[in-house]
Structure 1
Amino acid sequence: MSSLAGDWLMMERQTFERFVRHELPDGDPVLADLEARHLAITDPGRSTLAPLLSQYRTRKSYLLQGPALHIFVVSLRCHHTCNYCQVSRQPTGHTAFDMAGNAARHAVDRLFEWPGQDLTIEFQGGEPLLNFNAVRSITEQIVARNATERRTLRFVLASTLHDLTADQLAFFKEHRFKLSTSLDGPEWLHNANRPRPERDSYRRTLEGIERGRAALGEDAVSALTTLTRRSLEAPEAIIDEYRRLGFHSISLRPLSPYGFARKTRDRNGYDMAAFLRFYATALEHLLAVNRNGYRLEETYASLLLSQLLGPFAHGYVDLRSPTGAGFGAVIYDYDGQVYPSDEARMLAAMGESRFSLGRVDQPVSQWLKAPAMYQLMDAGVAEALPTCSDCAYVPLCGADPIDHFARQGDTLGHRPTSDFCRRQMGLFDLLLERYENADRQDRKTLHDWAFRTGVNQEDALDAAA
């Protein structure tokens, strides 16, 4: 059972049915638990909804800040030819797919029109280092403007890290950048998933990680893995590779329904049941790694556990209701188009531009009136959606209308056949059962994941994003 604000309680079904029939006697400890967690009121004359409403406001507090994540896509060019690429990368010689002209200047203007005090600026591609001049120029414009705006800024670069130079690393150190890269596992798997003509992707990635760590610090480089069909055969090998390389977080990310990933689904894809079986095996191996004294968390599990075990919302865009698209993130594309999420940008690259908010030379007030925002608002409140409204996990989950449109052709989606819902419910079920049945050591590990004990929370969120 769960409350509006995310408090929850496990009980036997027979006890639950007695509760529904008002048969639990005064003084019953289960009834006391229910009242303490805002799931019941025993005396309307003495009880108040104020604590529940206060907790609800706390859990939805991200709505007051506007988008905190601002993604600048400075180039679609990339060295890789990954079959699961979701961003429709372009060959390295096609500079027409670089951000140029006034697009960057207008995007910086729009960034400061939003009300948020804490802003994360992330540079993406393709490979953003192929247009490093734009990364440098945009960063310098933002820093100069912030001398009067006085916002709290965080800079992130999502890159293969293959072509890092000393000059680039000095710039990243000056502006305290965090680096995020892709590492799909051991060499045989990484090279198969992320091919280069020279077949040296794994070696170059490790060299980039080491250069980044040496210049910026051990905790300045995070990584995530994208899971193909062959990845599902090697959960322990993937996790052991991250441990061997000194990472303390790993993000086990299933394939997306965008870009080249959709075209190669028959070769690389799998159903959600296969992913959940993989994840259950990976979770047990991760807990064993932690029992043996090495701290290693799975970032998405940490996000879900923080929702289950904590009163605060982290604002991760996929777990927001109202949806994080447009309300928690904004994407400034290389060509000056603006989107409410990276997934909306990917759909546009596939020919479906209905979620475009407009262009960077238009004010934010105009974007907020765009038809796309009305679509997102209509389908973006999970508590009001069919099936979601009856789900015990809805206070802890999100709506994600763009994902449902991409998979099912409809922003509301059909929840009983939704991969998004199967993933969320499957992982919540798995983590809740594992937490409830864990011994003291494993429960402490899961609790530490939830509250980021020893792990930088913002870095873990970057890795998950």
Structure 2
Amino acid sequence: MTVLLQIGRRPPDVPVQATSPLPAGPGAQVRAFRSAHGAHLFVADGSRLYDLPEATAVRLEEWLSASEGSLDELGRTLDLPLWGAPRIDGTPLAPPPLSSISLNVMQACNLSCGHCYADEGRFGGSARAMPRATAYAAVDRLLAEAAPGSDVVVGFMGGEPLLARDLVHEVVRYAVRAGATTGHRVRFAITTNLTTVRPDDAALFAEHPFTVTVSLDGDRTGHDALRRAPGGASAYDRLRAGLDTLARHGRPRHLSARVSVTPYTGRLLDILEHGIALGFDEVGFGAVVSAPDPAYEITTEAFAGFLEQMTACGERALAELSAGRAYPFGNFQTAMEQLHRGAHRPYPCGAGAGYLSASAEGGLYACHRLVDDPAFAMGSLAAGPDTATRQRHLAERHVDRQEPCRSCWARYLCGGGCYHEVSRRGRPGCDYIRGWLSFCLRAYVELGQAAPEFFEQRSAAAPLTSSASTV
């Protein structure tokens, strides 16, 4: 058996000597899959991939369906050198230094969207804006809690953050000055509906290292069906005007489109290609799992159709990229990059770890989707992050301590699912996630054979983000 591609750290040259049982069943550690180039082995710990003779793949699948055992028993039975000490051993992460913080500068919005997790930014309360002193305190807290000399990210969220544009401009200037004093390079991110962007906003985004994420729901008909603007105006027309403003007055370092998928969303491939045609650097999809109005939520049954459409988008991306043509499908590119790095993590993102979100009142929460949720309160700007609460959060939510996650082969790629969604609806999309990642494993092998230069280019062009995201 030979190493298929160098993914993550190179394994040592000796077989594993572990005798502990496979966590929650043998299928939690290894998986056989096939591509156009043959059979392969995926090892969950380390996200390692290997070529596998077909006969061995069949025996492995039989063994997994019938046996309980340890890693060394599996290795001896099938002559597979599953080597190396565990990379993830179940030990919870200690709270790391902060590396990013998001500011809910305007907990209100100029659009009305039934699928908005933030209830138009109000999070179930009243509309409000973040005072300047609170915003500056958030920057100071981030710099005080960050590792010396590290890069940090300040994100602007809402509601619609550009309703507080003066504050956004002031905070950017303040953060750049403060970061220069403390020795931190500050980057920025903003999520916006782009309906109110002005030339000076565009200039700000171009002058500083900004990632701008725009909410997009399709073409004019599809977008306006889900996003209602005041007075019956077209939210889509205003978005297009915003894109024109960026083109004329300053394009950000990275411009991405985020499509929230509901039961009312149109054909995903059409939306993807529409977004690419609009000139976005990246277009990605996210299923709406939790919304104030349940009619906008993707049900467990609907995830099957979502998987079918996502796979169709992935197949198009695979074909285009294999032919050497750009095709910025964000979900696909993220999965390819994570597999190539050998990414494996016991958490879905950095929420409550290196990333926190500040509310308008100065409370700290695990992330921007959990603002004002007391179950995910993580301290305050005045007193600082609550280390004990963060430690408890990371201990309780380690993926190997979650059910049914600990028995899933995809757990170190998924991380257990978005905390906001799991706290509201559980995990209705697990079959979708496994199906999508199964496709991505095959696609990774095939893309690596057809266009290995893709991975060289992507490693040199990683986008700016405020926190890790799931595939």
Residue in structure 1 matched with residue 3 of structure 2 by the alignment: none
Residue in structure 2 matched with residue 241 of structure 1 by the alignment: 274
CA apart distance, 1:170? 3.0
CA apart distance, 1:23? 9.1
How many equivalent pairs are there?
411
CA apart distance, 1:267? 5.0
CA distance in 1 between counterparts of 2:421 and 2:341 reads 26
Cα contact 1:306–1:451 (8 A) shared by 2: no
Alignment of 1:50-61 (within 5 A): 52=85
Residue in structure 2 matched with residue 206 of structure 1 by the alignment: 240
CA apart distance, 1:200? 1.6
Residue in structure 2 matched with residue 342 of structure 1 by the alignment: 368
- Name the structure where strand makes up a greater proportion of residues: 2
Task: Give 3-state SS (helix, strand or coil) of 2:155's partner.
Answer: strand
Residue in structure 2 matched with residue 369 of structure 1 by the alignment: 388
Amino acid at match of 2:424: A
CA apart distance, 1:375? 4.5
Q: Please, which of 295, 316, 335 is the counterpart of residue 266 of structure 1?
A: 295
Cα contact 1:251–1:464 (8 A) shared by 2: no
Amino acid at match of 1:130: L
CA apart distance, 1:205? 0.8
2:425 aligned with 1:407, yes or no?
Answer: yes
Q: Unpaired runs of 5+ in structure 1?
A: 41-48, 314-318, 409-417
TM-score with structure 2 length normalisation?
Answer: 0.75
CA apart distance, 1:163? 2.0
Amino acid at match of 2:131: A
Residue in structure 1 matched with residue 437 of structure 2 by the alignment: 428
CA distance in 2 between counterparts of 1:5 and 1:292 reads 29
Cα contact 1:124–1:158 (8 A) shared by 2: yes
Residue in structure 2 matched with residue 457 of structure 1 by the alignment: 462
Q: Please, which of 216, 220, 228 is the counterpart of residue 195 of structure 1?
A: 228
Gap change, CA 1:322 and 1:160, over 3 Å in 2: closer
Cα contact 1:182–1:225 (8 A) shared by 2: yes
Cα contact 2:281–2:328 (8 A) shared by 1: yes
Residue in structure 2 matched with residue 306 of structure 1 by the alignment: 337
CA apart distance, 1:268? 5.6
CA distance in 1 between counterparts of 2:369 and 2:359 reads 12
Q: Unpaired runs of 5+ in structure 2?
A: 1-29, 31-42
Residue in structure 1 matched with residue 257 of structure 2 by the alignment: 223
Alignment of 1:134-145 (within 5 A): 134-145=167-178
Gap change, CA 1:88 and 1:455, over 3 Å in 2: farther
Cα contact 2:364–2:378 (8 A) shared by 1: yes
Residue in structure 1 matched with residue 106 of structure 2 by the alignment: 75
Task: Give 3-state SS (helix, strand or coil) of 1:230's partner.
Answer: coil
CA distance in 1 between counterparts of 2:106 and 2:75 reads 65
TM-score with structure 1 length normalisation?
Answer: 0.76
Q: Please, which of 288, 299, 304 is the counterpart of residue 255 of structure 1?
A: 288
Residue in structure 1 matched with residue 415 of structure 2 by the alignment: 398
CA apart distance, 1:97? 0.5
- Name the structure where helix makes up a greater proportion of residues: 1
Residue in structure 2 matched with residue 326 of structure 1 by the alignment: 352
Residue in structure 1 matched with residue 308 of structure 2 by the alignment: 277
CA apart distance, 1:160? 1.8
Task: Give 3-state SS (helix, strand or coil) of 2:292's partner.
Answer: helix
Residue in structure 2 matched with residue 105 of structure 1 by the alignment: 136
Residue in structure 1 matched with residue 401 of structure 2 by the alignment: 384
Amino acid at match of 1:363: G
CA distance in 2 between counterparts of 1:363 and 1:462 reads 19
CA apart distance, 1:196? 1.1
Amino acid at match of 1:369: A
Gap change, CA 1:66 and 1:427, over 3 Å in 2: farther
CA distance in 1 between counterparts of 2:348 and 2:220 reads 41
2:59 aligned with 1:14, yes or no?
Answer: yes
**1:354-386, Cα deviation, whole Å (9 max, x unpaired):** 21123221123xx1123xx35422322113334
Identity of aligned residues (%): 21
Gap change, CA 1:294 and 1:200, over 3 Å in 2: farther
Cα contact 1:321–1:383 (8 A) shared by 2: no
